[in-house]
């Protein structure tokens, strides 16, 4: 059996085709395909490469034995294009990050955004929501880690010279985990785009793994795993007011927020644990 990445490069195709002719079963692990050319700020060269390898990949998928897909939308797309193919929705996995159960928020409470800064990530809406929360008189801080293309980083001009906003840039894995655990409210604010709805945000499962309360936009299959006011504060994408309301709810109800965070950790253990996702991966391969 050969398990291949989402995109089949031109030089990979004859090798995979030869393996197929020898009787190997071919399985693909698919995440966002051509859709990562939209909502991102990649170069023209990179976008063309994505599109061309996407065409090669779709040709290769026609004679594959099955595919792992990261979302329901990708599953439906595959079932229409390649009806006989076996499909398995395989979400991303993460280790449990929580070390000790948090008992109270910091003073002032700290909000975290960690990730890339492309348009698809909806950072603009989070920043505007944070400013709205401050305008309403609430005391809180915002920490940001990660990076993006230079043009993407212009979004930080919205909070330029704001003493309650700290941008750390790229940090080590160890510092990232410490930051995730030490902040009080974690956020995932993806826009309503094809990229968002055909993929699945790793940052959601990673945030849930901390046991801290999370604000998440309802894109892709997010709403199938988590429930509003139960395991996250779920908001519509690109909605500044809803994000602000989520922050305010957590600030005004810290004990409820901490319980939501614990419920979110339970969701992570059930759906995104390394052991659970690994078992699903193996079971699918065994049954092809």
Give strand ranges (E) for 213-280.
214-217, 233-235
Mean per-residue pLDDT for 208-223? Answer: 98
**pLDDT interval class at 170 (50, 70, 90):** very high
- pTM of the shown model: 0.90
Q: What is the pLDDT of residues 221-248, one digit of tens each?
A: 999 999 999 999 999 999 999 999 999 9
247, 140 Cβ separation under 8 angstroms: yes
pLDDT at res. 212:
98
Which of 1.10.3720.10, 3.40.50.2000, 3.40.50.11540, 3.90.180.10 is the CATH number of 110-271? 3.40.50.2000
Q: Residue ranges per domain, the chain?
A: 2-93+273-286, 110-271
Long-range contacts of range 177-181, CB-CB < 8 Å, 24 or more positions apart?
Answer: 177/97, 179/112, 179/114, 179/143, 179/145, 180/97, 180/112, 180/114, 180/206, 180/207, 180/210, 180/212, 181/97, 181/98, 181/99, 181/210, 181/212
Asked if the model's pLDDT at residue 96 lies above 90, the reply is yes
How far is 16 from 250, CA to CA, in rounded Å?
51
State the DSSP code for 242: H
Q: DSSP of 21-89, one letter per residue?
A: HTT--EEEEE-S-GGGGSSS---HHHHHHHHHHHHHHHHHHTT-SEEEESSHHHHHHHHHH-TT-EEEE
């Amino acid at each position: 059996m050969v398990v291949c990445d989402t995109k089949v490069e031109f030089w990979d195709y004859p090798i995979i085709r030869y393996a197929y002719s020898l009787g190997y079963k071919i399985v693909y692990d698919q995440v966002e395909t051509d859709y990562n050319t939209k909502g991102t700020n990649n170069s023209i060269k990179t976008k063309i490469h994505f599109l061309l390898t996407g065409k090669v990949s779709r040709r290769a998928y026609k004679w594959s034995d099955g595919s792992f897909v990261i979302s329901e939308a990708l599953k439906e797309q595959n079932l229409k294009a390649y009806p006989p193919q076996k499909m398995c929705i395989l979400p991303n996995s993460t280790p449990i990050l929580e070390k000790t159960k948090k008992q109270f928020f910091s003073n002032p409470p700290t909000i975290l955004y960690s990730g890339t800064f492309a348009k698809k990530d909806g950072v603009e809406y989070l920043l505007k929501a944070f400013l709205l929360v401050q305008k309403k008189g609430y005391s809180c801080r915002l920490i940001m880690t990660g990076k993006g293309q230079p043009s993407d980083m212009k979004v930080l001009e919205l909070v330029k010279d704001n003493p309650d906003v700290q941008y750390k840039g790229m940090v080590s894995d160890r510092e990232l985990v410490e930051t995730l655990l030490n902040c009080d409210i974690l956020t995932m604010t993806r826009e309503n785009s094809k990229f968002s709805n055909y993929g699945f945000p790793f940052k959601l499962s990673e945030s849930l793994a901390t046991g801290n309360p999370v604000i998440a936009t309802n894109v892709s299959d997010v709403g199938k795993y988590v429930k509003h006011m139960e395991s996250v504060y779920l908001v519509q994408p690109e909605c500044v007011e809803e994000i602000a309301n989520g922050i305010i709810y957590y600030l005004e109800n810290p004990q409820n927020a901490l319980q939501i965070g614990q419920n979110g950790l339970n969701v992570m253990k059930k759906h995104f644990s390394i052991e659970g996702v690994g078992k699903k991966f193996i079971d699918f391969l065994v049954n092809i």
